Amino acid sequence: MEAKLQEIEKRKTYLDEKSLKSWLFTLDHKRIGLMYLFTSLVFFLVGGLFAIIFRTELAFPGKQFISPEVHNILFTLHGALLIFLVIIPLIPSALGNFFLPIMVGARDVAFPRINLLSYWLFFTGAVLLLLSLLFGPIDTGWTFYTPYSANKGLNVFIVSLAIFILGMSSILTGMNFIVTVHKLRAPGLTWGKLPLFVWAIYATSLVQLLATPVLGITLLLLGMENLLGIGFFDPAKGGDPVLFQHLFWFYSHPAVYIMILPAFGVISELVSVHSRKPIFGYWFIAASSLAIAFIGFIVWGHHMFVAGMSPIADIIFSFLTYFVAVPTAVKIFNWTATLYKGKISFTTPMLYALGFISLFLIGGLTGLFLANLGTDIHLHDTYFVVGHFHYVMVGAAVFAFFGALFHWLPKMFGRMYNEKWAKIGWFFNFVGFNLAFFPHFILGIQGMPRRYWDYPAEFQGLHFASTVGAYFIALGALISLAVFIHAMFKGERASDNPWGGKSLEWTIPSPPPTENFEKIPVVEEGPYDFVKH
């Protein structure tokens, strides 16, 4: 045993080089993945802190301690940071970068230099987004609806430039992953043997590549309107404010799938590995990822049922939107069926996966009310919508991220996390999340509009519950991140394959060597053909 441990200590890993330069200019996809991971986690904490501040304000009616102006800046930054700097890059750019090349049996992504460029574009965009605060903070909401955002001047221009640059990064990463999956698969690794995480990242990359340019163009137009006064969207200058909404949602609806598809991929891995059973309905899951990516492009109008579209457009968009429900339902059935006759371990990743299915189920089902022409008129722009997308973006996407983080932590750092504290963190996250966001559905049904600094005193009880839940989530997130940081430096040595996984990342040492594989493997078995462990 002692000899074996010493041998492990002597192995060369991608973490060996310690100089700052070796990190900042690295071409190693694993190091770039970690840089994304830590950058995003910093913004995760900042964005979460903003939410804690305005949730505290909202615990009671009337002014507590922040003015409406400050509240509006905070919810704008909360949304913009968490969407553009956290949820969009968190799973694909951080974990995807680390694991996608390994899972296809490659030494790196197809274009390592472009990969580094992606990261630095991301970093530049993030810094620019923060610098924009110096020119006057933005209070437009992350949706930048015109004409409210059309006459703000320099700060909106800088923010749109920042998101434009973030979009460039997103496009390059998507392109890189697509080429990697097509060109660098190991011999024998047919499309039918790809882990579902790879399928999901592949579908996500397609959406990133095709939708993000539209966001770039839209924000460029908005920036030009603010800087040069050209009337694209402001009716006072001869523009059309509703055109902005069309262009914005043409990206931002597919972007919802950029955020959730990678989470689907993660859950397929976690559910299968931690119940030691082949994923149920591999092809249905893989195909449903592509179906969701495709349908996601033709449903943007469901954000605009009360915005002045023609009734025919309303009806068609509602009808099409419902078709997203089918592949989504199929995935949920498949994950559930995977548990059947499995050998289920209640590890932290599995708890996050099970939490994901329950919370995503609520997030998905409440979407049915919002695609519904009749009920959406009542629920649109109320807290019901806020509840719905937090169940999908946090309850699903962030839960999947935490599950993936603990699942792959032993591979990334060769160390194990503290199971007990990780579970305590999960408990606070799960209970806190439901306490914070379930009341939003009831508030919305009762007619509480969103983005309010204050509300009639009649709504108080549920707002207070929601604030308490927010504190729980803060505690849960801090505990979970502390467990992660602790494991990274001080965790017990983990074996190369602690879960008995079959996909390629579990066949190499933990932490992996720089070149991933000593010899490119020849793949014969599928990623879910589990054996005695």
Partner 1 sequence: MWISALLPERASDYAVHVDTAFWITFFLSLIFFVIINFAILVFIIKYRRRKGDEEPGAPISHNTPLEIVWTIIPTILIFVIFWFGFKAYAEIKWMREKPKYEIRITARQWGWTAEYSDGKKLITGTIKDDRFITTKDFQPIIFVPAGEPVQLVLTSQDVIHSFYVPEFRVKYDAIPGRYTKIWFQAKKPGEYEVFCTEYCGAWHSRMPAKVLALPPKQFERFLKLPPDKFNNTLANMPIDSIYAVLNLSDEEFEKWSGAQEKLLLAMSPAERGKLISQRLCQSCHSFDGSQGIGPTWKGLFGSERILADGKRVLADENYIRESILQPGEKIVKGFQPVMPSFQGQLSEEQISDIIEFIKSLK
Q: Interface residues for partner 1 in 316-335 (CB under 8 A)? A: 318-319, 322-323, 325-326, 329-330, 332-334
Q: How far is CA 2 from the centre of its chain?
A: 41
One residue of 175, 230, 307, 468 binding partner 1 per CB under 8 A: 307
Of 116-124, 372-380, 419-427, 466-474, the segment contacting partner 1 by CB under 8 A is: 372-380
The residue (of 184 and 295) whose beta carbon lies closer to partner 1 is 295
CB of residue 275 to partner 1, shortest distance in Å: 6
Is the separation of the CB atoms in 387 and 437 below 8 Å? yes
The residue (of 25 and 319) whose beta carbon lies closer to partner 1 is 319
CB of residue 153 to partner 1, shortest distance in Å: 8
The residue (of 131 and 377) whose beta carbon lies closer to partner 1 is 377
Alpha-carbon distance of 100 to 531, in angstroms, equals 23
The residue (of 241 and 469) whose beta carbon lies closer to partner 1 is 241
Is the separation of the CB atoms in 109 and 176 below 8 Å? yes
Q: How far is CA 124 from the centre of its chain?
A: 20
Question: Around Cβ 341, how many Cβ atoms within 10 Å?
Answer: 9
One residue of 5, 127, 306, 313 binding partner 1 per CB under 8 A: 306
CB of residue 247 to partner 1, shortest distance in Å: 15
The residue (of 490 and 532) whose beta carbon lies closer to partner 1 is 532
- 423 contributes a contact to partner 1 by CB under 8 A: no
CA angle 126, 93, 245 (to 5 degrees): 60
Among residue numbers 456 through 495, which ones bind partner 1 (CB under 8 A)? 456-458
Among residue numbers 201 through 230, which ones bind partner 1 (CB under 8 A)? none
Of 102-110, 160-168, 256-264, 362-370, the segment contacting partner 1 by CB under 8 A is: 362-370
Alpha-carbon distance of 478 to 470, in angstroms, equals 12
Q: Could you give phi then psi for residue 492, rounded to 5 degrees?
A: -65, 150
Is the separation of the CB atoms in 59 and 140 below 8 Å? no
- Which ranges of 132-240 would DSSP assign to H, the alpha helix? 154-183, 196-228
Record the tokens describing residue 183, joined without a space.
Answer: 């060109």
- 268 contributes a contact to partner 1 by CB under 8 A: no
Question: Around Cβ 154, how many Cβ atoms within 10 Å?
Answer: 13
Report the candidate in 407, 119, 367 with the shortest Cα–Cα distance to residue 263. Answer: 407
One residue of 11, 182, 183, 343 binding partner 1 per CB under 8 A: 343
The residue (of 132 and 275) whose beta carbon lies closer to partner 1 is 275
The residue (of 9 and 308) whose beta carbon lies closer to partner 1 is 308
The secondary structure of 421-438 as a DSSP string is HHHHHHHHHHHHHHHHHH
Among residue numbers 234 through 253, which ones bind partner 1 (CB under 8 A)? 235-236, 241-242
- 446 contributes a contact to partner 1 by CB under 8 A: yes
Is the separation of the CB atoms in 474 and 485 below 8 Å? no
Record the tokens describing residue 275, joined without a space.
Answer: 């119940």
Is the separation of the CB atoms in 447 and 382 below 8 Å? yes
Among residue numbers 150 through 189, which ones bind partner 1 (CB under 8 A)? 151
CB of residue 286 to partner 1, shortest distance in Å: 12
Record the tokens describing residue 38, joined without a space.
Answer: 């830590």
Is the separation of the CB atoms in 384 and 315 below 8 Å? no
- 509 contributes a contact to partner 1 by CB under 8 A: no
- 137 contributes a contact to partner 1 by CB under 8 A: no
Of 83-91, 247-255, 344-352, 481-489, the segment contacting partner 1 by CB under 8 A is: 344-352
**Residue 305: what residue type?**
F
Among residue numbers 270 through 299, which ones bind partner 1 (CB under 8 A)? 275-284
Is the separation of the CB atoms in 202 and 213 below 8 Å? no
Among residue numbers 16 through 75, which ones bind partner 1 (CB under 8 A)? 60-63, 67-69, 72
CB of residue 219 to partner 1, shortest distance in Å: 18
- 389 contributes a contact to partner 1 by CB under 8 A: no
Question: Around Cβ 283, how many Cβ atoms within 10 Å?
Answer: 9
One residue of 206, 314, 398, 433 binding partner 1 per CB under 8 A: 314
Report DSSP state, residue 451: S
The SS3 of residue 290 is helix
Of 83-91, 213-221, 375-383, 470-478, the segment contacting partner 1 by CB under 8 A is: 375-383
CB of residue 498 to partner 1, shortest distance in Å: 13
